[in-house]
């Protein structure tokens, strides 16, 4: 039995990490030896991510966790967030005696090369999402910056006539122009810097890092394509 969660901040606001937050000294944490020198600091430690996910799971469960919840995981960056979020939703659902079925589908998007967003967005994934018809759908994304990806994805999902579509975004970047669309459930609002770890990559590297970290100049040069 888990205790009912108290003290989680507002889901739409997210936990705000200010621009002048220097991050934690990397040497305080355990991380793969092969990334030594490639990371500047730890922006969000793994334990803090997990705690925030519990809060989001609670809100999601209360609002759309009835009968069946269809989850659309945005790969590759969203795989860890999605897995931990669904685990938390299921365990809180069990401890509150709800009859909830979850089903996870996957979609792959690609738009980044090095640390830049490219114009062409590729949706690679199931053509047919008609199983979403009449159901509550939760899109799970690791990071939202311009909001363009999210907008395109929302349009795509709505074609299959779900009952409701919500978006959970672990990170929202504070970019100068602001995002076009914001997720319904926000984990953290972070400075406009390129981050890696917890399944977020730089040219496919760093996904195997547990914490969300800021990449160093050395790291960017080393893994540039
Ligand atoms: N890191 C990794 N992938 C991303 C980022 C980022 O900061 N922004 C958009 N995709
Ligand atoms: Mg990427």
Q: Are strands 68-75 and 101-113 parallel, antiparallel or unpaired?
A: parallel
Instruction: Kindly indicate the confidence band of residue 179, based on its pLDDT and cuts at 50, 70 and 90.
Output: confident
What is the average per-residue pLDDT within 153-160?
92
Q: Would you call 145 a catalytic residue per the annotation? A: yes
Per-residue pLDDT, averaged over 104-109, amounts to 91
137/70 Cα distance (integer angstroms): 5
Give the model's pLDDT for residue 1: 45
CA–chain centroid gap for 183, Å, is: 10
Model pLDDT, residue 126? 79
Where does the pLDDT of residue 123 fall: very low under 50, low under 70, confident under 90, or very high at 90 and above? Answer: confident
Ligand 1 contacts CB of residue 198 (under 6 A): no
Q: Say yes or no to pLDDT of 163 above 80.
A: yes
Least confident among 11-15, 41-45, 160-164, 174-178? 11-15
Token digits of residue 133:
């018809």
Cis peptide before 105 (omega within 30 of 0): no
Lowest mean pLDDT among 5-19, 27-41, 66-80, 98-112: 5-19
More confident: 173 or 4: 173
Extract the tokens encoding 50: 């997990």
CB 11 within 8 A of CB 59: yes
At 6, the pLDDT band (50, 70, 90 cuts) reads: low
Range 46-191 has CATH code 3.40.50.2020 = yes
What does the DSSP 8-state code read for residue 24?
A: B
Distance 200 CA to ligand 1 centre (A): 7
The verdict on pTM exceeding 0.90 is yes
Residue 191 has pLDDT above 50, yes or no: yes
User: How many helices and strands in the chain, by DSSP H and E?
Assistant: 4, 10
- Per-residue pLDDT band for 103 (boundaries 50, 70, 90) equals very high
Residue nearest to atom 7 of ligand 1 (CA): 194
Alpha-carbon distance of 34 to 80, in angstroms, equals: 21
Average pLDDT, the chain: 90
CA-CA-CA-CA torsion sign (147, 151, 156, 158): positive
What integer pLDDT is reported at residue 178 of this predicted model?
79
Question: For the chain, where are the alpha helices, taking DSSP H only?
Answer: 46-64, 79-95, 148-158, 217-222
Task: Compute the average pLDDT of residues 57-61.
Answer: 95
Residue 104: pLDDT over 50: yes
Name which residue sits closest to atom 5 of ligand 1, judged by CA.
Answer: 194
> What Cα–Cα distance (Å) separates residue 126 from each residue in 23, 30, 148, 156, 199?
38, 37, 20, 11, 21
CA of 90 to the centre of ligand 1 (A): 28
Taking CA 83 as the corner, what is the angle to CA 116 and CA 137, rounded to the nearest 5 degrees? 85
* Across 91-106, average pLDDT: 92
Lowest mean pLDDT among 60-64, 148-152, 191-195, 204-208: 148-152
- At residue 3, the pLDDT reads 55
Decide whether any atom of ligand 1 lies within 6 Å of the 205 Cβ: no
Single out the catalytic residue among 145, 184, 201, 208: 145
- Rounded Cα–Cα distance for residues 3 and 27 (Å): 33
């Amino acid at each position: 039995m888990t205790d009912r969660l108290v003290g989680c901040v507002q889901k739409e606001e997210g936990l705000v990490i200010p621009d002048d937050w220097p991050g934690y000294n990397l040497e305080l944490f355990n991380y793969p030896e092969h990334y030594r020198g490639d990371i500047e600091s730890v922006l969000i430690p793994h334990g803090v991510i997990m705690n925030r996910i519990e809060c989001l799971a609670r809100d999601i469960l209360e609002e759309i966790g009835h009968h069946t919840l269809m989850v659309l995981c945005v790969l590759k960056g969203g795989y860890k967030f999605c897995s931990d979020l669904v685990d938390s939703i299921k365990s809180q659902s069990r401890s509150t005696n709800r009859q909830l079925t979850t089903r996870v589908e996957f979609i792959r998007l690609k738009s980044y090369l090095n640390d830049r967003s490219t114009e062409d967005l590729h949706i690679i994934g199931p053509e047919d999402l008609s199983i979403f018809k009449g159901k509550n759908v939760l899109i799970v994304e690791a990071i939202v910056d311009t909001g363009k990806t999210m907008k395109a994805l929302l349009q795509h999902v709505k074609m299959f006539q779900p009952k409701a579509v919500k978006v959970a975004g672990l990170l929202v970047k504070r970019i100068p122009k602001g995002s076009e669309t914001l997720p319904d459930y926000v984990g953290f609002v972070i400075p406009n810097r390129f981050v890696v770890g917890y399944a977020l990559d730089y040219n496919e590297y760093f996904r195997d890092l547990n914490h969300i970290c800021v990449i160093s100049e050395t790291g960017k040069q080393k893994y540039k394509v």
